[in-house]
Structure 1
Amino acid sequence: MSENVRAKAEQALALVDEVNAVVLPEPKEATAVVTLEQADPATSEEIRSRMAEIDMGDTNSIVAFGSAAQAELQEISQAMLQDVRNKDVGPAGDSLRGIVTTIRGFSISELDVRRERSFWEKLLGKAAPFAKFTARFEEVQGQIDKITDDLLKHEHTLLKDIKSLDLLYEKTLNFYDELALYIAAGEQKLKDLDENDIPAKEAEVQAAAEGDQVMKAQELRDLRAARDDLERRVHDLKLTRQVTMQSLPSIRLVQENDKSLVTKINSTLVNTVPLWETQLAQAVTIQRSAEAAAAVRDANDLTNELLTANAKNLRDSNAMIRQEMERGVFDIEAVKQANADLIGTIEDSLRIADEGKARRAAAETELKKMESDLRDTLASAKARKTGTGDNAGTAVPG
């Protein structure tokens, strides 16, 4: 809230106290209509002056009897209605609901900068949570300033209405009392007509000559008709007075409601709105602190992770290097395996050579045997002295 608005709201406190301090008079009882005989001299004079307004020969004077009392009241009512028609702002309650809606629409959950943006937020390319929150805060602040300015206007309008209602109440109460005078005057006039004027006119009819009796009788009928019109008019005034008495509590009720609303608006402007603004500012400050703390924590976590990772890597690499350093040019297991393979190779070579020598010896023995067998067979063939044998035997060397 701007300083100007706050100053105006504090200045309005005096006006609120002023309208709340007004005590309006209570109306008299509806039956408290003082007759001419019971009235004091001043009231009797007022009643007689109103009786003088009645002209029994003029119907309009009877119809308009008591209407003058309502003229000033109508002027005030019409001025208030015109003021209502000229208003170009909504009800104050709408502004109060608007400021509540604005505050409720300010979501603190949007402050979480670590909150994972939804699929739609990513798809629509919405800003990061804190940037969005800051923009939302500025928007809400602007809305609060506008609504508080509207509330000030509503407050001044309601204060004006309350004062107008005070005046309306006073004039309505005066009209209520004025109606009592008109009712008393009308009833007194009816009493005079019933007790004096009509009996006198009846006597005139009876005493008139035969040629004038028709005219006198008509005058009597007109007088009686005018008397009945006056009686109906007085009855209407009594009903109007009763309705007027009922309207007084209604005016008071509207006033009380307006006063309560003015008090609520002023309390909202002076106390609630600054408290809201303080809480919103604290929310932003707290979030900024939380954001900074989160950044520091992330840096510390990263440092710890680096220290732990480097220590582990150093241990692993040192173990590997030391193992390589402590190894010989050749591993003893590799030399042992190579020596065993070499011995096996030599033994295989000797075995294979021995086996080859034995096979060759066996083959030579077998060849000699086959050669001996062949020679013996040929020799046997020569002994038979056949041509076939001779040919076969001479084919083999001796």
Structure 2
Amino acid sequence: MSENVRQQAEKSLAEVEQINAVVLPEPKEATAVVSLKEADAPVSAEIRKRMDEIDMTDTQSIVSFGSAAQAELQTISQAMLTDVRNKDVGPAGDSLRSIVSTIRGFSVSELDVRRERSWWEKLLGRAAPFAKFTAQFETVQAQIDKITDNLLTHEHTLLKDIKSLDVLYEKTLNFYDELALYIAAGEAKIEEMDAEVIPAKEAEVNAAPEDEQVMKAQELRDLRAARDDLERRVHDLKLTRQVTMQSLPSIRLVQENDKSLVTKINSTLVNTVPLWETQLAQAVTIQRSAEAAAAVRDANDLTNELLTANAKNLRESNTMIRTEMERGVFDIEAVKQANADLIGTIEESLKIADEGKAKRAAAEADLKKMEADLRDTLASAKARKDGTGDVAATSVPR
């Protein structure tokens, strides 16, 4: 790891500790909506200000009650989703895994001069192991430097994200409190409608002349419908407030994940990477010490292999030659098999000849019988034609 990256990592450590020390305020309980009667003067003024936004004769005023605050919730939610989607957690994690893969891909065991060489290495000749080792170490060092630079960039990005999430949390908490004011204003307006406005309108309907009662009754129905619409709208605002409260721990969870990852990245840069580099440097030194001994061992091993291989080849060749010398021109087993096959062939020929003779004799007898039957049939047919057969039915002229 370069000295510049090391200094930046140590410098960012103080910023990481400062961010981890920030304590976010806790939201109020979901049921802690202060009513107009219980609110102090400043809060009461804010509630009345929002009550003035309601026009019970205008349906659009009721439907859009608190919509500005609800639109802000949508903006905040989209900002939080965009922050999660665009976060560099994935690339940072990839960089951590890349470091591990780079180190694990560096195998010192491949450089062991005592290991059994493959047939390909024996055929082409083995390259100097220390030269390969040094070149591989240089490649690993370059990769580590590149990855640490990327990790430092991810760390800075995550620190900015954490600060942005602090602002997002504060805005969401303000919106949560703003919804409480709108809910209190809506409930106060409903209470005013039930206690004053609607009873007054009912009295007005009862006191109106007969020709005006229909119009007054319709106004009363519209007023009651508007009151119900406002009640439903207040219920929606309560649900929105509950969802907003649920989003607060979600923001904290994202922040905690970011803080954990930043801490892990910083620890990797400050502690882990230098340790890996130290271990690799030790591996180079150890390899240099073992190179001379490995060369001598290779020579001794080659001599022993040649002696052993020659003795083994001599024994195998002698065994094969002596075996062939002691064999006859023909193997007795082959002669026996040929004689048995010849006898079997002769016996099968005689058997087939006898069977053919018997079949010919049987066929000759059948031919004579068929000839006699044909002659008798022809004679019978001629007798019937001459009339002789009609007088003497069983007489057949010879």
**TM-score normalised by length of structure 2:** 0.69
| Aligned equivalent of 1:153 | 153
Q: Distance in 1 between matches of 2:81 and 2:29?
A: 29
Q: Distance in 1 between matches of 2:72 and 2:160?
A: 19
Q: Flag the 1:266–1:89 CA change in 2: closer, same or farther, 3 A.
A: closer
Residues 28-72 of structure 1, C-alpha deviation per residue, up to 9 Å, x if partnerless? 111111111111101101111111111212222222222322444
| Aligned equivalent of 2:314 | none
Which residues of 2 match residues 40-55 of structure 1 at below 5 A? 40-55=40-55
Q: Distance in 1 between matches of 2:49 and 2:80?
A: 31
Q: Flag the 1:218–1:198 CA change in 2: closer, same or farther, 3 A.
A: same
Deviation, 1:208, is 2.5
2:2 paired with 1:2 = yes
Q: Distance in 2 between matches of 1:101 and 1:117?
A: 25
Q: Flag the 1:173–1:89 CA change in 2: closer, same or farther, 3 A.
A: closer
Larger mean CA deviation between 243-252 and 116-125 belongs to: 116-125
Q: Flag the 1:75–1:243 CA change in 2: closer, same or farther, 3 A.
A: closer
Q: Flag the 1:121–1:296 CA change in 2: closer, same or farther, 3 A.
A: closer
Q: Distance in 2 between matches of 1:3 and 1:121?
A: 40
| Aligned equivalent of 1:181 | 181
Q: Flag the 1:193–1:288 CA change in 2: closer, same or farther, 3 A.
A: same
Deviation, 1:300, is 12
Letter in 2 for 1:213: Q
Deviation, 1:16, is 0.4
2:14 paired with 1:14 = yes
User: Is the contact made by 2:36 and 2:47 (CA closer than 8 Å) also made in structure 1?
Assistant: yes
| Aligned equivalent of 1:392 | none
| Aligned equivalent of 1:224 | 224
User: Is the contact made by 1:77 and 1:168 (CA closer than 8 Å) also made in structure 2?
Assistant: no
Deviation, 1:188, is 0.3
**TM-score normalised by length of structure 1:** 0.69
Q: Aligned with 1:110: secondary structure?
A: helix
Which residues of 2 match residues 170-249 of structure 1 at below 5 A? 170-249=170-249
Task: Give the aligned CA root-mean-square deviation in angstroms.
Answer: 2.7
Which residues of 2 match residues 373-388 of structure 1 at below 5 A? none
| Aligned equivalent of 2:307 | none
| Seq. identity, % | 85
Q: Flag the 1:18–1:183 CA change in 2: closer, same or farther, 3 A.
A: same
User: Is the contact made by 1:9 and 1:270 (CA closer than 8 Å) also made in structure 2?
Assistant: yes
| Aligned equivalent of 2:273 | 273
User: Is the contact made by 1:80 and 1:164 (CA closer than 8 Å) also made in structure 2?
Assistant: no
User: Is the contact made by 1:148 and 1:269 (CA closer than 8 Å) also made in structure 2?
Assistant: yes
2:37 paired with 1:37 = yes
Q: Distance in 2 between matches of 1:67 and 1:84?
A: 26
| Aligned equivalent of 1:109 | 109
Structure 1 unmatched ranges of 5 or more: 302-398
Q: Which protein shows a greater Rg?
A: 1
| Aligned equivalent of 1:60 | 60
User: Is the contact made by 2:83 and 2:161 (CA closer than 8 Å) also made in structure 1?
Assistant: no
Deviation, 1:92, is 1.9
Larger mean CA deviation between 31-40 and 285-294 belongs to: 285-294
User: Is the contact made by 2:76 and 2:172 (CA closer than 8 Å) also made in structure 1?
Assistant: no
Q: Aligned with 1:33: secondary structure?
A: coil
Q: Aligned with 1:212: secondary structure?
A: helix
Q: Distance in 2 between matches of 1:283 and 1:38?
A: 75
Which residues of 2 match residues 92-171 of structure 1 at below 5 A? 92-121=92-121, 127-171=127-171
| Aligned equivalent of 2:373 | none
Q: Distance in 1 between matches of 2:208 and 2:159?
A: 68
Letter in 2 for 1:34: V
Q: Flag the 1:129–1:294 CA change in 2: closer, same or farther, 3 A.
A: closer
Letter in 1 for 2:104: R
Deviation, 1:123, is 6.2
Deviation, 1:279, is 0.9
User: Is the contact made by 1:205 and 1:213 (CA closer than 8 Å) also made in structure 2?
Assistant: yes
Q: Flag the 1:220–1:122 CA change in 2: closer, same or farther, 3 A.
A: farther
Q: Flag the 1:90–1:267 CA change in 2: closer, same or farther, 3 A.
A: same
Q: Distance in 2 between matches of 1:224 and 1:121?
A: 95
2:262 paired with 1:262 = yes
Residues 62-119 of structure 1, C-alpha deviation per residue, up to 9 Å, x if partnerless? 2222232244454444445445666688432222122112211111202324544312
User: Is the contact made by 2:33 and 2:183 (CA closer than 8 Å) also made in structure 1?
Assistant: yes
Letter in 2 for 1:208: A
User: Is the contact made by 1:73 and 1:171 (CA closer than 8 Å) also made in structure 2?
Assistant: no
